[in-house]
Structure 1
Amino acid sequence: MARTPSLARALLTGVTLLGVLGSLGSLAACDAQTSESAGPGTRGKPRPITPVAGCAKGWTDPSDRSAGRGPARCAPGAPAPKPLKKKTKVVVSASTLTAEYLAPLRIGVAKGEFSKEKLDVEVKLLPTPDALPLLAKGDVDVQYAAPEAAVLNGIRQGFDIRWVAGNFTPAPGSRSGFWARLRPGETAGGVSLKDRTVGTLIGKGSVITYPMEKVLSAHKADMDSVRFQQLGPAEVLASLKNGGVDAAWLLDPVWRQVDGDADYAFLGGQPRGEPLGGLLFGPDLLTGDPDAGVAFLRAYIRTVNTYFAGDYKKDKAFLDDLGDVLKTEPDTLAAVPSLRMDWEIRAGTVDRLQKAYATAGVVEGDPLPEDKVVDRSFYAEAVGHKP
């Protein structure tokens, strides 16, 4: 599968979003992959899909975005392994190895779920800008990321990349999202964000642009009336507290450090029923070896069904296992609600993201149709659903 990396990671290290987009466009022009087809069900001869034991409820209506929507679930241990004919290596990149949303991947590797499919999975820590061209070239097979502006612009330039599975939606009790430091006499309901500085990890090109735009609108601001400051993961909270920024998007479990503090207000977060990130496949799995692509999602989905079906943090022994793989204290993990792991992708999410990116001025050209970005056929085959 993945080859020895032939692109220097330094190519994109430390560059701005505009630099990333420029590098993507140049790379695509030199070595564009075809992007006319959309996965094992529509690329060439259609692949047969048969019912999968234990997965009768392994699919939900993609148009359902209700906050109370239950995610698709198979029985524990399902879908059962279907080992590949030969051992296959799959290289996965992620920008962090300790975030809880990455837990199904890390636990799946640790518990041997990928090995049951004869997959040898290597997880590499790579910043998203570094990993994206490697994914397009086939030096990385899977990127755990999101359909951010750089990804969409890369696809538009000819990169053969698809968003093939979701990751999670927040639990009802989560306050992961947009937090503001209140000024004297200001209340949460009366916050005006106009002319304030917002700290983010990626900037306007991130998927949080979509929910952030709604928060800004509700607080007398828009993407053009705030100043964005890009910060490292360890800097976001500190900058919010010391006045370096006026507001910031705080993830689990960081928001707990300001929750209940009268000087800060939670203004909104990710939509409850809509995953905004997950797994991106490159050409090796999309067209080179779709059997391995389906096997990868089968193992990932089985891990979710076996270990993350409900409130997984109630199991102390499993919480200890989770702490081990994420290098995080179990008490820290227990301090925030369990995520709702969700491998499905909602209909229209890409359209809503592109609208937000266009407003922010970080995408080029006309909006891409969903089938140029999303491919549900891998997880459909894994759970035996005929779309």
Structure 2
Amino acid sequence: MFGKSRARTMCAAVMAAGLAFTSACAPSTQQTQATDAKQVSVLPAGVSLSGTPDTPAAKPLAQHASLKVGIPSKLELEAPALLAQTYGEFAKENLDVTFVTDTVPNLLTLLGQNKIDLVYAGAQALVFNALRHGVPIRWVSGVASSSPDSGVYMSTKYGTSASDFNPALLKGKNIGVNPGGLAAPSEYGLYDLITKGDLSPSDVRMTPFSDIAAMAQALNNGSLDGATLGAPFTASLKPGVAFQAQAGYPASMQIAGYFATTELLGAHRDAGVAFFRALERTVNTYLSGDYHQNTEVMTKMAQQLGTTVETLRVAASVPFDFNVPAQSVDSLQKMYQSVPGTLQVGNPVKPGELIDLSLVIDAAQGK
């Protein structure tokens, strides 16, 4: 890790609306000069972040380096990094990677305190609040396109398919949501459906569940009118009880990925590029197509995630995608603005201020 050379800190205070960063965290002159170095906020036409097996080729660092990577929990979405460790892809880059597990707010605080180098997280409101207060945080990679079976599921009392469901019917309905509701990026599908029905969030009754299995059961027994669900919980829905009314999020946006600060994008970008070369090579070699049918890969993944191959195969293979479309920034902010107290007062963050794809592009191009 490169904490000794860093000059900035991230100040954090836990408030009722979530983690807020104070203006005392403004970057130093050195940080300002490093900000946006080689920044690429939109994937250039003709550039692909995917490739064939064993590509991009390893390009070992001239000097051994180490990175600490924060993850909130071990999920299949983090399989590229976890399996890169298992298959020795980091070692091929002359890079050591250590994983640190904690909550997303704590991990982002550690990122600013120079204690970790990258964080895997959803693009929560606190990311936008941090940037607005001068913390040089960047969204450097996506993770996946929306899973085909994730999204908003409605009781068949209100329709049978997305094509015949009228979103205006959400008014007054009781919808199960993940903790945080529309303050969490995972609820974008519900927000999108609400806006399609010309409704406001206050028109819909949202019941948060920390136990997602219980939320699926509540939809099964009729105590909920709908719920935001994804794999493997969608597999427990009884046939004929519910239908998918809205996907989790459209292909034109992303809701999660890896976050870093301009330190990794600047003086130590070689280590950042090496990290993403290993991740992209892992996806291209082991996690492309319907990799759930590859018993060897799934066995290693199950070991990493502390589960079974059978449990993982209940869901479809994840469509990994490292891109972060610019629309993601505007769309998520609009959702957060609909929840009072979620975004701190200030001008909206522009896509070019937050997204920086230069590490994943350089990695894909073998640089």
Q: Which bracket does the TM-score occupy, shorter chain normalised?
A: 0.7 to 0.9
Q: How does 1:1-387 map to 2 (within 5 A)?
A: 1=1, 12=14, 16=16, 18-21=17-20, 24-25=21-22, 28-30=23-25, 32=27, 34=31, 38-42=35-39, 61=45, 72-97=49-74, 99-171=75-147, 174-181=148-155, 185-188=157-160, 189=165, 192-198=169-175, 199-219=177-197, 221-234=199-212, 236-237=215-216, 240=219, 246-258=225-237, 260-269=238-247, 270-272=249-251, 274-361=253-340, 362-363=342-343, 364-384=345-365
CA distance in 2, matches of 1:261, 1:220: 30
- Over 3 Å counting, the alpha-carbon distance change for 1:42 and 1:347 in structure 2 is closer
| Larger CA deviation: 291-300 vs 232-241 | 232-241
Q: RMSD in angstroms over aligned alpha carbons?
A: 3.2
Q: When the two structures are superposed, what TM-score results if normalisation uses the length of structure 1?
A: 0.79
Q: How far apart are residue 370 of structure 1 and its match? A: 1.3
Q: How far apart are residue 276 of structure 1 and its match? A: 2.1
Q: Which amino acid aligns with 2:261?
A: G
**Identity of paired residues, percent?**
27
Deviations 1:127-171 (A, max 9, x none): 111111111222121110132211011110111110011111135
Q: Secondary structure at the match of 2:85?
A: helix
Q: How far apart are residue 119 of structure 1 and its match? A: 1.7
Q: How far apart are residue 38 of structure 1 and its match? A: 4.8
Mark the runs of 5 or more structure 2 residues left unpaired by the alignment.
Answer: none
Deviations 1:222-244 (A, max 9, x none): 32222444432555445555777
Q: How far apart are residue 288 of structure 1 and its match? A: 4.3
CA distance in 2, matches of 1:155, 1:145: 15
Q: How far apart are residue 36 of structure 1 and its match? A: 7.0
CA distance in 2, matches of 1:3, 1:239: 47
Q: Which amino acid aligns with 1:267?
A: A
- Over 3 Å counting, the alpha-carbon distance change for 1:113 and 1:39 in structure 2 is farther
CA distance in 2, matches of 1:246, 1:150: 30
Conserved? CA contact 1:252–1:336, under 8 Å: yes
CA distance in 1, matches of 2:219, 2:97: 37
Deviations 1:162-186 (A, max 9, x none): 0011111135xx221112346xx54
Q: Secondary structure at the match of 1:129?
A: helix
Conserved? CA contact 1:39–1:378, under 8 Å: no
CA distance in 2, matches of 1:254, 1:282: 34
CA distance in 1, matches of 2:46, 2:119: 23
Mark the runs of 5 or more structure 1 residues left unpaired by the alignment.
Answer: 44-58, 64-70
Q: Which amino acid aligns with 1:144?
A: Y
Q: Secondary structure at the match of 2:338?
A: helix
Q: How far apart are residue 379 of structure 1 and its match? A: 1.4
Q: How far apart are residue 293 of structure 1 and its match? A: 1.1
Conserved? CA contact 1:294–1:378, under 8 Å: yes
CA distance in 2, matches of 1:62, 1:205: 35
CA distance in 2, matches of 1:29, 1:62: 42
Q: Which amino acid aligns with 1:20?
A: L
CA distance in 1, matches of 2:116, 2:219: 35
The total of aligned residue pairs comes to 349
Conserved? CA contact 1:108–1:303, under 8 Å: yes
The answer for the alignment partner of 1:46 in structure 2 is: none
Conserved? CA contact 1:147–1:207, under 8 Å: yes
Greater percentage in helix: 2
Q: Which amino acid aligns with 1:266?
A: Q
CA distance in 2, matches of 1:233, 1:284: 38
Q: Which amino acid aligns with 1:29?
A: A
Conserved? CA contact 2:68–2:98, under 8 Å: yes
Conserved? CA contact 1:202–1:230, under 8 Å: yes
Q: When the two structures are superposed, what TM-score results if normalisation uses the length of structure 2?
A: 0.83
Conserved? CA contact 2:138–2:355, under 8 Å: yes
Conserved? CA contact 2:191–2:335, under 8 Å: yes
Conserved? CA contact 1:162–1:375, under 8 Å: yes
- Over 3 Å counting, the alpha-carbon distance change for 1:186 and 1:274 in structure 2 is closer
- Over 3 Å counting, the alpha-carbon distance change for 1:211 and 1:152 in structure 2 is same
Q: Secondary structure at the match of 1:310?
A: coil
